[in-house]
Amino acid sequence: MKVSLYVDGLNFYESSKRYRWYPYGWCNWRKTIENYCPGAEVQVKYFTSERSGRDQEAMERQRLHLKAMEDIAHAKIIKGETRRRSVQCQRCGGTMRCPQCGSNERFTEKMTDVKIALHIFEDAIDEAFDRAYVVSGDLDLLPALEAALRRNDRAQIVVLFPPDGIIVEEFMDLERKHEKHVRCLRLDTRLMQRFPDDLPKRWHMELPEHWRVDAGPRPKIIPKNRARQIPASRASWSES
């Protein structure tokens, strides 16, 4: 069986931060899908955008993860772009600042969803897979999944949501409509396989403490130069 995996890396990583399965962000996606489909011929496409900004530690963590994905999981890394935007009030247009650090900027990811959709659609047309696994719950992918099923009526698609995630009704509708070809499931942590904690030593790098197998939910990170304002959680989207 030919199996293709499409991972929305930033989406998955960000969704994991507050949960018990956060250490599975250090996931070997090839081994994980091989656990789902023993004996399958697996190709992995990992979609992400490079972390940018002043947080050098976050950028180094992302470099470590992408190196593991490329060198060990043999994934094809497909990058979108990040754009810096100022945060503005939706009502008056005034600049808004983070109560913790005073920043008025956020990073937005561009082109990742479109690239995932195009790769799924093109691979379906080319019959590159018998079964596709999609790690994303983004509703923007629904038209691409529908189109892929129309162009390859033998293909199967399994949409994998985070272990504690909600499977939204629109995806359940897709499963009901294509009951013989679509499954919507939560990731099973018993089948998920992490990279070894000592792997970074191979490249003279260190695994962050909060990535270790027994780390649990990510601890709250308080900025070093915290502003003297009312505490609040800073919105973040990127692999950090």
Q: Are the CB atoms for 88 and 56 separated by under 8 Å?
A: no
Q: Identify the helix (H) or strand (E) that includes residue 80.
A: none
Closest CA to 192 of 163, 219, 164: 163
Distance (Å, whole) CA 20 – CA 199: 22
How are beta strands 41-48 and 2-8 bridged, if at all?
parallel
Average pLDDT (6-30) is 87
- What digits encode the pLDDT tens for the residues 147-170? 999 999 999 999 999 898 889 999
Task: List the CATH code of the domain at 2-81+113-211.
Answer: 3.40.50.1010
Average pLDDT, rounded, for the chain? 83
Question: Comparing 7 with 94, which gets the higher pLDDT?
Answer: 7
pLDDT tops 60 at residue 74: yes
Cβ density class 185-209: b for 16+ within 10 Å, e for less = eebebeebbbbeeebbeeeeeebbe
| Entry pTM | 0.81
- What digits encode the pLDDT tens for the residues 181-206? 999 999 999 999 999 999 999 999 99
- Which pair of structure tokens corresponds to residue 22? 């956060």
Q: Are the CB atoms for 126 and 2 separated by under 8 Å?
A: no
Residue spans of the domains in the chain: they are 2-81+113-211
Q: Could you give the C-alpha distances from 207 to 23, 65, 115, in angstroms and in order?
A: 11, 10, 30
Q: Are the CB atoms for 33 and 3 separated by under 8 Å?
A: yes
Q: What is the pLDDT of residue 88?
A: 66
Q: Are the CB atoms for 46 and 78 separated by under 8 Å?
A: yes
Q: What is the pLDDT of residue 13?
A: 82
- Which pair of structure tokens corresponds to residue 160? 């994998």
